[in-house]
Chain A
């Protein structure tokens, strides 16, 4: 993903993002995890409330991804305006 000499810190950020993204995708891709009726919440079988709960959960994971990706770039670029032309906007 990086084209020139990624710092260890930036690599760490991308590893974290990759893990969070994979969790987000696999959570509902692996159907046997949740294709069951119990436990219930109220009248709702597990199949339904698991999926519905997964929506805000993924939103939170994505918000974390966004925050660490912007944080990583701010601390690794020098100068007030990161411009794409000189490649300093790397991890943004």
Chain B
């Protein structure tokens, strides 16, 4: 495959601009004490409605949206539209609990969700469980970003054609080194600032694509017709139809439970909680809940582009020629339909759209490692400067972990990476969200419920092969539930199991008078809205003692 130098040059230029902005972001809204973890890890906790909208948009809408979703629609049709239902449901759910989580974090200076669990339940074990789950769950999510970048590079003919594994992955490695560099230097300020560029490119790309391409390939009647023909034809590998244009009753449960499970999981992900905690005021969160659906429109339109790709001459054949990798469908369509220069812009949008969330995810995981593992278990009296240094280093290691996922997990449908992360992260829902409303649950009951659901969910997901590829693992994320006989998202089944165990054991432990642990929160703090001028307290690990924790002056 030959490289289109016009597209490639535009990608290079935009990538260079993004890298410069990323490194320069360290000067943006510069604080006196940049070595405080509130600065590196939460951008100073001062983002208003506008910046938060871009930051959370950059967080939520990732290579998942731009590559994985259209790939799923391209391959299976209507089933892929659970993603739209999921991004519709997520904001009403967030409206309920997210402001409370923001308030309690602001009052106590919590940097991570595990900090909250630590303070609420007085349980180091439960906090460790939440931190571990967060770090684990973002790795496949970052890996999904890598897969997205890889898809674009393959279609552009960069590296992908070489038989040498190192040369093949070199462009990806370079992109990731640059990402790691500016994340290390600027922390959350970098993705927050780059998110402006990312979203401008994304909106331009999608508006042009949805107007220009369907008309060129013969209009929507033609597109839906071709899609229907393709989806109802039999897939030789599985012996079943490829999918359906309208969801069949047999798919209702998987569709609804995967959408609901993903929606419950989304704001449990540490990177989305990081984006939330970085907001200046409580109402910034609520306003964003009403404004963020603008991105869901984009997701819906991009999902439709999966059908447009089916109707674009040559795309299906090229995808088949590349190991039936549906993730290439949209990039191939862009390359064949757009003039080279605009294809370059579209490719840049996807690559930058993957780099922004990858940066936030690695920062969030690094915050978790630093606060809830390093400081908690190894260096309780670490200064703020040391905490920031540890988090910076951890952000590099998390990205390496993500690379492992790309190498070892089946990526036929990269969306499985995100759904796997969801199976894990949604198991922290009871501890975090129930904890925002009640201390009724016993901390050990929550921990045991979490552990059972994590182990069960992981085993279930491991056992599921990719459709038509027996012997593979982590190939699907929903399975038939014996009692009700429907296909259900493993994450949601695990969550129900988790909750039942937590309720039963709480009854039992209360009857046995098991100690409930200390609770450092006050009811009114869950609705507090501290003035932005008031500096958040220095994050101190509860129970360690304010004297030692506050000894650092930066």
- Chain A interface residues (CB < 8 Å from chain B): 1, 3, 17, 20-21, 24-25, 27-32, 35-37, 42-45, 47-48, 51-52, 54-56, 58-59, 61-63, 65-66, 69-70, 81-87, 89-92
Residues of B within 8 A of A54 (CB): 88
Q: Mark B219-244, 1 if CB is under 8 A from A, else 0.
A: 11101100000000000000000000
Other than the given A29-B259, A47-B245, A89-B529, 8 more pairs (CB < 8 A) read A20-B92, A25-B92, A29-B256, A42-B221, A52-B84, A62-B92, A70-B286, A84-B530
B256 contacts A30, CB within 8 Å? Answer: yes
Q: Is the CB of A65 within 8 A of B293?
A: no
Decide: A89 and B88 in contact? CB cutoff 8 A. Answer: no
A43 partner residues in chain B, CB cutoff 8 A: 219-221, 223-224
Q: Which residues of A contact B99 (CB under 8 A)?
A: 92
Question: Which residue in chain A gives the minimum CB-CB distance to B291?
Answer: A59
Q: Is the CB of A56 within 8 A of B523?
A: no
> Which residues on the B side are within 8 Å of A48 (C-beta)?
81, 304
Q: Bound complex: CA of A83 vs CA of B81, how far in Å?
A: 43
- A35-B252, A52-B297 known; A92 and B246 CB under 8 Å? no
Distance to closest chain B CB from A15 (angstroms): 13
Whether B93 sits at the interface, judged by CB under 8 Å, is yes
**Dominant secondary structure of chain A at its interface with chain B:** helix
B12 interface residue per 8 A CB criterion: no
Q: Is the CB of B91 within 8 A of A62?
A: yes
Closest chain B residue, CB of each to CB of A31: B252
**B437: Cβ under 8 A from any A Cβ:** yes
Known contacts A42-B220, A52-B297, A59-B294; is A65 also within 8 Å of B88 by CB? no
B409 on the A face (CB < 8 A):
no
Enumerate chain A residues within 8 angstroms of B107, measured Cβ to Cβ. 84
B403 interface hit (Cβ, 8 Å): no
Q: Contacting A84 at CB < 8 Å: which of B283, B296, B528? A: B528
Is B255 a contact of A31 with CB atoms below 8 Å? yes
Q: In the complex, what residues of B have CB within 8 A of residue A21's CB?
A: 92-93, 95-96
B246 with A37: CB separation less than 8 A: yes
Query: Is the pair B252, A28 in contact by a Cβ cutoff of 8 Å?
Result: no
Q: How many residues of B contact A (CB 8 A)?
A: 53
* Contact, CB under 8 Å: A56 / B293: yes
Q: Is the beta-carbon distance between B527 and A92 smaller than 8 angstroms?
A: yes
The smallest C-beta distance from A52 to any residue of chain B, in angstroms, reads: 5
What B residues does A42 contact at CB under 8 A?
220-221
Contacts of A25 in B (CB 8 A): 89, 92-93, 263
* Residues in B whose Cβ lies below 8 Å from that of A81: 531
Q: Which of A47, A58, A66, A86 contacts B247 (CB 8 A)?
A: A47
> Within the complex, what minimum Cβ distance (angstroms) separates B273 from chain A?
19
A25 to B95: give the CA distance in the assembly, Å: 11
A91 and B84 contacting across the interface, CB-CB below 8 Å: no
Q: List 11 interface pairs A-B (beta carbons < 8 Å), by A numbering.
A: A29-B89, A45-B245, A47-B78, A47-B247, A52-B300, A58-B293, A62-B92, A66-B286, A66-B290, A84-B528, A89-B524
CA distance A30 to B255 in the complex (A): 10
Determine whether the beta carbon of B89 is less than 8 Å from that of A84.
Answer: no
Q: Name the residue on B nearest A27 (C-beta).
A: B88
Per the bound structure, the CA–CA distance linking A81 and B282 in Å amounts to: 14
Q: CA separation between A28 and B300, bound complex, in Å?
A: 13
Closest to B525 in A: A84
